[in-house]
Amino acid sequence: MNTSSIMFMLVVLGFATTSICAQQDAQYTQYMYNTISVNPAYAGSRGVLSIMGLHRSQWVGLDGAPRTQTLTVNTPIGGNERLGLGISIVNDEIGPTDETYFDIDFSYSIPTSDVGKLSFGLKAGGHLLNVDFQKLSQFNSNDALFENNIDNKFSPNVGVGVYYHTDRFYVGLSAPNLLETDHFDESTTTSNSTAVSFLAEERINYYLIAGHVFDLTDDIKFKPAVLSKLVFGAPLQVDVSANFLLYNRLTLGAAYRWSAAVSGMVGFQISDSMMIGFAYDRETTELGQSQFNDGSYEVMLRFELFKKYNRMLTPRFF
């Protein structure tokens, strides 16, 4: 048994000794390109059909470390600038668990000025959870707690969000999952008659996201952004990023996840329709010093379709 297997076994067995209720949503470094995953009010805000795919491998080198695949599609509806529709599919794997999220997003926008819009969003969908206890290295192979795997356990999902944006600024508040669902709740009795419970409960994740674009020169733009995530029962997460857009093509940036990680980002606008992005995280905690942790990687690809009469003449920064 290698060290990384032992680590994840201890984590899961630690869960089995108490009630755990702080499960969090998937984590992203390139959140500024993936806003619809956390805020349904973003749907349709780019004014075109936008398709985004993202893969994240976290803590590479650790067995059972988190891996996330995300596919989102969002567009205005029928040429109506006030209505937006989006679809999100997220597959999140960690250790013996594999969870798939599928959601539909609706948004309605109200012009607040010549340049600003306030959008309201609703998210509806569900999650499918699988847990394969056979992937664990168990101290006791006859433990009744781990006898039966969990296969495609369904949990419903409802979320809300509000999003304000202009050509140069955006801010959003959202809670993409309002239902605190018990994914599974198992209990058993050990050989010394000690009762233990194994509970995984979905907690509400609250998001604040904001960003701005500043013109440093005609060819260089500064794009700071921040994402804050609050989950009761877990530490507050704050991500701060600073990107520089060069000649409306090349993006170079860095990010800091408070008391957790530092990141580097690069993106390239291949054409008006296609952008590719890459991010690398390095933990600032003791986990980052582990010989089994080679950091975290993200790859993002965005493709957009334009109507002939609605071609994007200037870049949309968000």
pLDDT at res. 22: 40
pLDDT at res. 10: 35
Q: Per-residue confidence at 14, pLDDT binned at 50, 70, 90?
A: very low
**Judging by DSSP bridges, how do beta strands 237-246 and 220-230 pair with one another?**
antiparallel
What pTM does this model have? 0.83
Q: Is the pLDDT of residue 140 over 80?
A: no
CATH number of this structure's domain 3-310, picked from the four choices 2.50.20.20, 1.10.287.130, 1.10.645.10, 2.40.160.40: 2.40.160.40
Q: How far is CA 261 from the centre of its chain?
A: 16
Q: How far is CA 203 from the centre of its chain?
A: 15
pLDDT at res. 101: 93
The answer to whether the CB of 68 falls within 8 A of the CB of 91 is: yes
Length of the chain (residues):
318
DSSP state of 309: G
Q: Per-residue confidence at 182, pLDDT binned at 50, 70, 90?
A: low
| Residue spans per domain, the chain | 3-310
The answer to whether the CB of 76 falls within 8 A of the CB of 44 is: yes
pLDDT at res. 145: 60
Lowest pLDDT segment from 10-19, 34-43, 282-291: 10-19
Q: Per-residue confidence at 84, pLDDT binned at 50, 70, 90?
A: very high
pLDDT tens digits along 261-299: 999 999 999 998 999 999 999 989 877 677 778 889 999
Q: Is the pLDDT of residue 112 over 90?
A: yes
Place of tokens 């419903």: 156
Q: What is the mean pLDDT of residues 231-250?
A: 93
The answer to whether the CB of 32 falls within 8 A of the CB of 318 is: yes
pLDDT at res. 224: 97
Q: Per-residue confidence at 173, pLDDT binned at 50, 70, 90?
A: very high
The answer to whether the CB of 211 falls within 8 A of the CB of 170 is: yes
SS3 98: strand
Measured distance between the N- and C-terminal CA atoms of the chain, rounded to whole angstroms: 46
Q: What share of the chain is helix, strand, coil (3-state, %, to 5)?
A: 10, 55, 35
Question: With the C-alpha atoms ordered 129, 133, 137, 143, is the resulting torsion angle positive or negative?
Answer: positive
The answer to whether the CB of 131 falls within 8 A of the CB of 149 is: yes
Highest mean pLDDT pick, 132-141, 176-185, 227-236, 252-261: 252-261
Q: Is the pLDDT of residue 185 over 60?
A: no
Q: Which amino acid is residue 220, in one-letter code?
A: I
